[in-house]
Structure 1
Amino acid sequence: MNAPAFRHLDIPTLGEWLAGDEPLTLVDIRDPVSFAEGHIPGSRHLDNDSVPALFEVAPRDRPLVVVCYHGHSSQQAAAWLAGQGFAEVYSLDGGFTDWQLRHPDRVER
């Protein structure tokens, strides 16, 4: 049995989507302290406790982008979320670390 498909998303493309106000759901799976210290604007923290709330509010037909530290653990989360009925799921390559290096002025604290 194959894992549900997700796609890889690069930093420049996410930057374009956010600048163009593309409708998407952005979730950050890093630990709560790291998220509080800085995250991509518009993202929501996602952990085991907040998954049910995400399922209630996030449209399943809207692109869903998963962010972690470096783009590794977000792949597992993205595959799992794709299996939960989200039609278009992405894992951000390079994660928040790369985003913050490229866009220090686009970090919400």
Structure 2
Amino acid sequence: MPHPFEHLDADTLIQWLGEGRTLTLVDIRDPLSFAQGHIPGSRHLDNTSAAELVEQTPPAQPLVVVCYHGHSSQQAAAWLAGQGFSEVYSLDGGFVDWAHRHPERVSR
């Protein structure tokens, strides 16, 4: 059975953002970590905001899930795919890898 989500590397995400591709970036780390730094344009997602995201986001719009190291984002991505989103990605390496590779692309 194929995975309901796909893996996405940081370089591809940089390219998509540079192209101005329409996508939804969600960060599932804790609120303090998110406040201290996140990928520009991403929104914090937790159990309380998940229903709102599902209601307001077009199901065909690509959805990229970010966590610390790219592990828990896979579970969240699988869950979101189960909510009817057709194009869901888990960012490999998570925010930690992103911030290390692209420190200039972190909103604080």
Identical positions, percent: 70
Task: Give the length in aligned residue pairs.
Answer: 108
Q: Give the whole-Å Cα distance in 2 for the aligned partners of 1:100 and 1:10.
A: 13
Q: CA deviation at 1:58?
A: 1.1
Q: CA deviation at 1:4?
A: 5.7
| Structure 1: runs of 5+ lacking an equivalent | none
Match of residue 78 from structure 2: 79
TM-score, normalisation: structure 1 = 0.95
8 Å CA contact 1:66–1:74 kept in 2: the answer is yes
* Post-superposition CA distance 1:45-81 (Å, at most 9, x none): 0000001211222111010000000000000000000
Which amino acid in 1 is paired with 2:65?
Answer: V
8 Å CA contact 1:71–1:95 kept in 2: the answer is yes
Match of residue 40 from structure 1: 39
**Divergent runs of 4+, >4 A:** none
1:1-109 aligned within 5 A: 5-109=4-108
1:74 alignment partner, SS class: helix
| Structure 2: runs of 5+ lacking an equivalent | none
Supply the RMSD in Å over aligned alpha carbons: 1.2
Q: Give the whole-Å Cα distance in 2 for the aligned partners of 1:25 and 1:58.
A: 8
Q: Give the whole-Å Cα distance in 2 for the aligned partners of 1:4 and 1:52.
A: 22
